[in-house]
Amino acid sequence: MKINRRHMAVAAAVTVAAAALPAAAQSADERAVAQAVEALTRAMLNPDRAALEALSHDALSYGHSAGRIENKAQFIGNLVERSNPFGEINITDQTIAVVGDDAIVRHNFTGNTTGGGRVTPVRIGILQVWKKQGTNWKLFARQAFVRPPA
């Protein structure tokens, strides 16, 4: 999945159309988690406090590849307060395993961040844990790690 600011509208239309198609290999919960991951990606690309609040569990533990750990307020505040933190985010090789009201998501995350007049490439692996609250999936834990060279 490749999302950047120029393709946000197209990505949203594709998401709506894809949600209407049957997915033989995915359960309803797996599809819902995949949609939550995509919504989180969009909210990180174009920081939206309300969307980030709605997608994040109150007890969120958000780990960066450099070792920094943030809680929910820090994660959201740091994204929203930075101007244009991500220029592009690509999610590939995603797997989702749902066990009861918990889901484990793994994927590769590539793209770039912008800031200080520089574009910095990002190439990391991600492990996310999502918890179901009512009918919504909330990001409970996330840990990024440095991917070995290709």
Q: What is the pLDDT of residues 39-67, one digit of tens each?
A: 999 999 999 999 999 999 999 999 999 99
Between 49 and 82, the higher pLDDT residue: 49
pLDDT at 7 over 50: no
Q: Is the dihedral of CA 136, 82, 145, 58 positive or negative?
A: negative
The second-level CATH assignment, the architecture, of 2-146 is: Roll (3.10)
Q: What is the pLDDT of residues 87-110, one digit of tens each?
A: 999 999 999 999 999 999 999 999
**Would strands 118-133 and 2-4 be described as parallel, antiparallel, or unpaired?**
unpaired
pTM of the model: 0.81
> Burial level of 26, CB count in 10 A (0-12/13-18/19+)?
middle
CA distances from 46 to 40, 74, 79, 113 (A): 10, 17, 9, 12
- Res. 5 pLDDT band, cuts 50 70 90: low
Predicted confidence (pLDDT) per residue in 114-138, tens digit: 888 889 999 999 999 999 999 999 9
